[in-house]
Amino acid sequence: MNTTTGKVTLLSAGPGDVDLLTLKAVKALAAADVVLLDDLANPDIVTLAPQARVIRVGKRGGCRSTPQAFIERLMRRYALKGLHVVRVKGGEALLFGRAGEELATLREAGIAVDIVNGISSGFAAAAGLGMSLTHRRHCHGVSFVTAHTEDHGEPDWAALAATRTTLAIYMGMRRIDSIAAALLAHLPAATPAAVVQWAGGSDERRLLTRLDRLAADALGAGFGSPAVILVGDAVGESAEAPWWERENRGEQGRDSLPAPVIARAA
C-alpha cells in the first residue's frame, strides 16, 4: 500500500453536457484513482476515468441522499491511502456545492486539494433563455441565492429585491409559492421571471412568465427540481420573451402577456 498522502480534486462537472467540461477537468478525470460521483453530474463522465473506482454519492434536495459527513470520510480515507480522489460535483463546486465544508475537512487532515471550476446551472439557464444576467439596461449585477438554507430559514427577500439585480435562485422549487409571494411584496407583478429545469442538459425545459404568475405557471406545467428560478427585468431580454418587442412598438405592454412561454432544449 502506498503510504504517501494522496490528494483530492474538487471537480466542477457543469450543468450536465459533457462537452462543457474544461480540459483541466478531463485531465483530472484521466488521472483519478477514485471518482466520487454526484447525482446531478452526467453519469457518462465516468468514461473519462476508465481506470478509476467509481462511487456514487448522490445528493438531491428532498430525496434520499448520501450524508455529507460520509462523503467527507470517503475522501479523507482514500487520499490518506495515497490515492488521487476526484470529487465530481454538478455545476460549479464553489457555488452551493458544500465545497467549504469539504475543504475544511481535507485541510485539517493535511490533504492537498485542487479545485477545477465549471459552469454553474445559473449561467446555463441564462444561456438556454438567450439572455444576459447582467444586461446593463436593466440591472447592475446578479445575485446568486439558495432557497435551501442549512437552518431551513428564508433568505431576506426584501433585501434581495432592493438590490435591483437579477436574482438567480437555486433549490427553490419546493418553496416557489412562498418565494414568489415574498418577492411580490417588493417587486412589480409584471417583473419578468423564468424557470429552467435541467439547465444545460438534453432534457432542459424553460418557462418564461411574470412574477405574479410564476408559481402557478411553473407548477401547472409540471416543472420541478433540479431547476433555477430567474427573476428580474433582464429576463425580459430572453430570446423567447414576447413582450419587449410589443412594448418597443408602442403596443400593449408586458402587463398583457397572454400565456407563459414554455420551451425545450433544441
| Residues noted as catalytic | 38, 59, 171
For residue 228, the surrounding DSSP H or E stretch is: strand 227-231
* Nearest Cα residue to 13 out of 41, 49, 39, 35: 41
- Listed in sequence order, the residues at least 6 apart from 10 whose beta carbon sits closer than 8 Å to its beta carbon are 87, 89, 93, 97, 99, 102, 103, 113, 114, 115, 116
Question: Is the previous residue joined to 226 through a cis bond, with omega within 30 degrees of 0?
Answer: yes
- For residue 196, what is the enclosing H or E element? strand 192-197
3-class DSSP assignment, residue 182:
helix
Distance in angstroms (rounded) separating the CA atoms of residues 207 and 195: 5
Rounded Cα gap, residues 226 and 63, in angstroms = 11
**DSSP string over 62-104:** TS----HHHHHHHHHHHHHTT-EEEEEESB-TTTTS-HHHHHH
58's CB contacts (< 8 A; 6+ apart) are: 38, 39, 64, 65, 66
**Of the candidates 119, 223, 128, 129, the residue with the CA atom closest to the CA atom of residue 180:** 223
